[in-house]
Amino acid sequence: MERNTLGQRSTRQRDVIAEVIRTAAGPLTVQEILARAQADVHGLGVATVYRTLKLLQEGEQVRTVILPTGETRYEAAGLGHHHHFHCRVCDEVYDLDACPVRLPESRAIAPGFVVESHELTFYGTCRRCA
Ligand SMILES: [Zn+2]
Ligand SMILES: [Zn+2]
């Protein structure tokens, strides 16, 4: 009985955390995930968030994003090719759908250097802070 109650609680925590990440405007920090999930899960602690993020990564529902600053954030897996916009004012990170990179058809960026992938992070002010 006890085990069942605990199991239901952890399933609910996992669902809430997955939903917080899935509905975010961009990748979130652990503290942001914790703050948003606490609205639905009373008494949720940071250790549980870390443990749940590990499970969600193993289940390929969530992936880590490591920004050029070295900060680790979490986003839904399977979003497809996209980039991030980091607002310098509010520190929020947003997903951008548009990719501004235009490579030549050969994908060679210099003679003998063929591009297979790229990562880009934009910095500036978001629409709320502009
Ligand atoms: Zn902003
Ligand atoms: Zn791109």
Total domain count, the chain: 2
CATH number at residue 62: 1.10.10.10
Q: Identify which ligand lies nearest to the alpha carbon of 118.
A: 2
What is the structure's pLDDT at 3?
Answer: 52
pLDDT category at 1 given cuts 50, 70, 90 is very low
Structure tokens at 29: 């920090």
- Ligand 2 centroid distance, CA of 113 (Å): 17
- Ligand 1 centroid distance, CA of 21 (Å): 19
- Ligand 2 centroid distance, CA of 10 (Å): 36
* Judgement on whether residues 68 and 105 belong to the same structural domain of the protein: no
What is the structure's pLDDT at 2?
Answer: 45
* Stretch 23-31: mean pLDDT: 97
State the Cα–Cα distance between residues 58 and 51, nearest whole angstrom: 11
* Judgement on whether residues 68 and 22 belong to the same structural domain of the protein: yes
* Judgement on whether residues 69 and 86 belong to the same structural domain of the protein: no
* Judgement on whether residues 109 and 62 belong to the same structural domain of the protein: no
- Ligand 2 centroid distance, CA of 85 (Å): 12
Count Cβ neighbours within 10 Å for each residue of 93-106 and write b for 16 or more, e otherwise: bbbeeeeeeeeeee
Q: Identify which ligand lies nearest to the alpha carbon of 94.
A: 1
Which of the residue ranges 4-13, 41-50, 62-71, 76-85 would you say has the lowest mean pLDDT?
Answer: 4-13
Q: Which of 42, 51, 93 is nearest to 68 (CA)?
A: 93
What is the structure's pLDDT at 9?
Answer: 79
* Judgement on whether residues 28 and 86 belong to the same structural domain of the protein: no
Q: Mean pLDDT of all residues in the chain?
A: 93
Q: Identify which ligand lies nearest to the alpha carbon of 82.
A: 2
Which of the residue ranges 27-31, 56-60, 90-94, 101-105 would you say has the lowest mean pLDDT?
Answer: 101-105
pLDDT category at 47 given cuts 50, 70, 90 is very high
Tally of CB atoms within 10 A around 15: 13
SS (H, E, C) the chain: CHHHHHHHHHHHHHHHHHHHHHCCCCCECHHHHHHHHHCCCCCCCHHHHHHHHHHHHHCCCEEEEECCCCCEEEEECCCCCCEEEEECCCCCEEEECCCCCCCCCCCEEECCEECCCCCCEEEECCCCCC
Per the structure, the complete domain to which residue 124 belongs is given by: 80-130
Structure tokens at 51: 């443990």
* Stretch 67-81: mean pLDDT: 94
Say yes or no to pLDDT of 4 above 60.
no
* Judgement on whether residues 99 and 70 belong to the same structural domain of the protein: no
